[in-house]
Amino acid sequence: MNTIVRHRWSYLYIAPFCILTAVFVLYPIGASMVYAVFRWDGIGQLSNFVGLDNFREVLRDDIFWGSVRHSFVYTAVLVPVQLVLALVLALVLNDRGLRFATFYRAIFFLPAVMSPAIIGVIFQLLLSNFGQRIGQWAGTDIGLLSDPKTALGVVVVIGIWNTLGYNLVYFLAGLQTIPEELYEAARIDGANRFQLFRHITVPGLAGIGPIIVFLAVIGSLQVFDLVQVLTGGGPFFATSVVNTYIYQKAFGGASSSGVITPDVGLASAASLFYGLLLMVVAGLQAIVMARRARQRNEGGLR
């Protein structure tokens, strides 16, 4: 008790975080666990206990597994492409000799602060008016977002454009932590650009790099708004990702069926299951990161 009193200001400072986390993270998780064992439309009272039926239904639903697959494909394509692009751009923009660097940074970050709803409308208009020619190059003549063979690819490309700015900023922050003296010393020793990159930049980013990858992977696996506004998961679930699946189950509303009856219990079950899946992915990433950090440290000690 004395400890609490002695450190009361510390507790006071972290209280808002704890309260917000409890209300907006822990409570919804706990509530979802309860919802998941009821058949419930989200409006009336919880009365129809169904045990694990919602989980069974989710696991038997081909559309759910299709959505999982699309989420992982989205991530598997977006993350490496976006990170390479972000790193290249960050290297260019980190060049102190570059004029208007701040302006360029703002330009590249701009899509990240745009509303996904606006992005959805803009790209729908762009693709409906000018996308046909691009579509023909891509081997489709029914519209890039209308063709199940190209729709997910288009969403990935727009996703790369949309969120590139965040990773660019992360890499820039990482690059700016590398002492300039290291580059100067290496140049004096005759290192070329590639060697500077290979032996100074890459090790210099070894600390922040895995965190950027971790955030990009988890963020991409949770993609929602962009898909919802661009395609709503269509055509015929060709771009459905897990979060659009959960949203459509939870909130129902207008859809291709006219009106979908909300099924909060099923959505909660899908959400919990996918949450577990993401925890496994995050755990594996954490293990790999820890192992690499240990190897680095051991290497450093040697």
Binding site for other proteins (CB under 8 A): 23-24, 27-28, 31, 34-35, 38-49, 63, 121, 124-125, 127-128, 131-132, 135, 141-148, 151, 231-232, 234-238, 251-263
What residues contact 192, with CB distance under 8 A and at least 6 apart? none
Return d(Cα 94, Cα 107) in angstroms, integer. 15
Q: Which is nearer to other proteins, 106 or 142 (CB)?
A: 142
Q: What are the CA-CA distances from residue 34 to residues 47, 50, 165, 272, 273 (Å)?
A: 12, 11, 38, 11, 14
Return d(Cα 142, Cα 295) in angstroms, integer. 52
Query: Residue 245's closest CA among 35, 54, 63?
Result: 63
Closest distance of CB 278 from other proteins, Å: 18
Closest distance of CB 48 from other proteins, Å: 5
Q: What are the CA-CA distances from residue 71 to residues 65, 152, 183, 236, 260 (Å)?
A: 10, 10, 40, 16, 23
Closest distance of CB 129 from other proteins, Å: 8
Q: Which is nearer to other proteins, 27 or 100 (CB)?
A: 27
Token pair, residue 218, equals 């988890």
Closest distance of CB 18 from other proteins, Å: 15
Q: Which is nearer to other proteins, 11 or 236 (CB)?
A: 236
Q: Which is nearer to other proteins, 34 or 114 (CB)?
A: 34
Return d(Cα 181, Cα 23) in angstroms, integer. 47
Q: What are the CA-CA distances from residue 142 to residues 118, 179, 237, 291 (Å)?
A: 23, 53, 17, 48
SS3 258: strand
Closest distance of CB 138 from other proteins, Å: 12
Closest distance of CB 146 from other proteins, Å: 4
